[in-house]
Amino acid sequence: MPEPRDTAVYTHGHHESVLRSHTWRTAANSAAYLMPSLRPHMEILDIGCGPGTITADLAELVPDGRVTGVDRAPEVLDRARATAAGRGLANVDFAVADVQALDYPDNTFCVVHAHQVLQHVGDPVRALREMKRVVRPGGIVAVRDADYAAMTWYPESEGLDAWLDLYRRVARANGGEPDAGRRLKAWAQQAGLTDITATSGTWTFTTPEERAWWSGLWADRTLASAYADLARLGGHADDGELRAAAEAWREWGTREDGWFSVLHGEILCRKEA
């Protein structure tokens, strides 16, 4: 495995096929493990907010508090602001930030949340130390990340096997860790967090509509996103191999018996008072 880097390349980029999945995410399907801990007055930092759908949900759950959504990509924050404005939310704001060097004082937030972020970070332990630094004593660091090696599907597909192998190679060459979910607890311990509850959650796609949506966005992402460009430029795959992977996705999506599950690791860490 490559040595950790201070920085990493975001493997997916913000192609339409990527935002198609990001805008589907909600607090209910992506942060359910955190929701019971929220209180109306809380101040929350949502790291890697993307188009802001989870951020907006969190803002609705803390009507007497405030949510700040941050992302390294300034261009996606316009989408996030539009999401919040469209829902009439006045207790949310957005800013550009790097999770490995947050521009906030110590002990600022009640909750610091990150969904699908640490898998793309060069030094996830450093990122967790920063999250711990800016959360108040007694506050919560909440992180959820996918674990690509634990993704599973039916029926078996050599094409999807090849896709998964390619994706993991590209992500690691970019400085990330695609199997982040299983590592979250260990990373949190290395960051000095002690009160850690580790759980897991899944997304499952099996209805005709779910299969069409999930397979279609991954087929498009495999051919036209930043991930596709990085696969080519890094010498990991040529156009023919990418087309074959996309076709494997589309073929799986047509299967009436098709089933796909994405495992996520989750940690809920309370900072010592």
Q: Which residues contact 28 (CB under 8 A, 6 or more apart)?
A: 35, 57
User: Would you state the pLDDT for residue 4?
Assistant: 40
Comparison of pLDDT for 254 and 19, the residue scoring more = 254
Structure tokens at 213: 């949506």
Q: What is the pTM of this model?
A: 0.94
Share of the chain above pLDDT 90, in %: 88
Mean pLDDT of 220-226: 88
Mean pLDDT of the chain: 93
Structure tokens at 248: 């494997």
pLDDT above 60 (res 2): no
pLDDT above 50 (res 3): no
User: Would you state the pLDDT for residue 1?
Assistant: 35
Banded pLDDT at 240 (limits 50, 70, 90): very high
pLDDT above 60 (res 253): yes
- Alpha helices (runs of H) in 38-194, residue ranges in sequence order: 53-61, 74-86, 124-134, 158-173, 184-190
Distance of CA 256 to the CA centre of its chain: 28
Comparison of pLDDT for 19 and 231, the residue scoring more = 231
Asked if residue 46 lies in contact with residue 117, where contact means CB atoms within 8 angstroms, the answer is: no
Task: For residue range 103-120, list pLDDT tens digits in order.
Answer: 999 999 999 999 999 999
Task: For residue range 200-215, list pLDDT tens digits in order.
Answer: 999 999 999 999 999 9
User: Would you state the pLDDT for residue 5?
Assistant: 44
